[in-house]
Amino acid sequence: MLTPKQYKLLQYINKTIKETGCCPSFDEMKEAVGLKSKSGIHALIEALVERNFLRKLPHKARSLEVVRLPKLKPSSIVEEEKKREQALLDAMVEIPLYGKIAAGTPIEAIANETEKFAVPYETVRGGQFYALTVEGDSMVDMGILSGDTVVIKKASTANNGDIVVALVDDSEATLKQIKQEGPDVLLIPKNEAYETRRLPASRVKVQGILSSLYRNYN
């Protein structure tokens, strides 16, 4: 069963693809369904993909394809899902978006909050969270692409194998897999084009652990 906004977005994507041959942009989708944030559109798209109404097409701009349309009429969906949609909207919360994080060569340390990022409340219970936009391709083998938004749970320690935000020398922030080896810390990329960095543990501070990831299909 689709919510009204899921149904409206699906119909809009289908209509736009038929008329133009291209999937609409996120800004166009926001305007069509009356949402203010791209993360809200992302949540609707993920739900439609999960229910097999949409399919993601890799390596293509605006990479969405309509698989099928629902059998129920819009009026039925509105009546049956009105309360559920409101509950979902009420359950969204905003967390700080702190700019970009390198998944490649480390960039300067995370600065001030630039804007907010909306996420489902259930995904950020039991801790403090913030969001970062990924820049670089060193984590592609973990499915983390440049332009993705990662949600980070604040933490000062991590287990071997965790994907973390690591601050090097109090000046460079990077997103890498971490591993402790004796007195050293390994910052491990997930792309064969990059080398693992071995640093004294005193030079590396964990700033948080990867909790979830959101992708913009613009």
Show the DSSP H helices in 25-166 as ranges.
26-33, 38-50, 74-90
Q: Is 100 a catalytic residue?
A: no
State the Cα–Cα distance between residues 49 and 63, nearest whole angstrom. 12
Which one of the listed residues 5, 8, 100, 176 is annotated catalytic?
Answer: 176
State the Cα–Cα distance between residues 100 and 88, nearest whole angstrom. 28
Which one of the listed residues 8, 100, 138, 211 is annotated catalytic?
Answer: 138
Residues 6+ apart with CB under 8 A from 85: 3, 4, 5
Residue 214 amino acid letter: Y
Residue 39 half-sphere exposure toward CB, CA atoms < 13 A:
23
State the Cα–Cα distance between residues 196 and 44, nearest whole angstrom. 37
Treating both helix axes as pointing N-terminal to C-terminal, what angle do 4-20 and 26-33 enclose, rounded to 10 degrees?
A: 130
Q: Is 176 a catalytic residue?
A: yes
Report the candidate in 87, 85, 99 with the shortest Cα–Cα distance to residue 34. 85
Q: Which helix (H) or strand (E) holds 127?
A: none
Catalytic residues: 138, 176
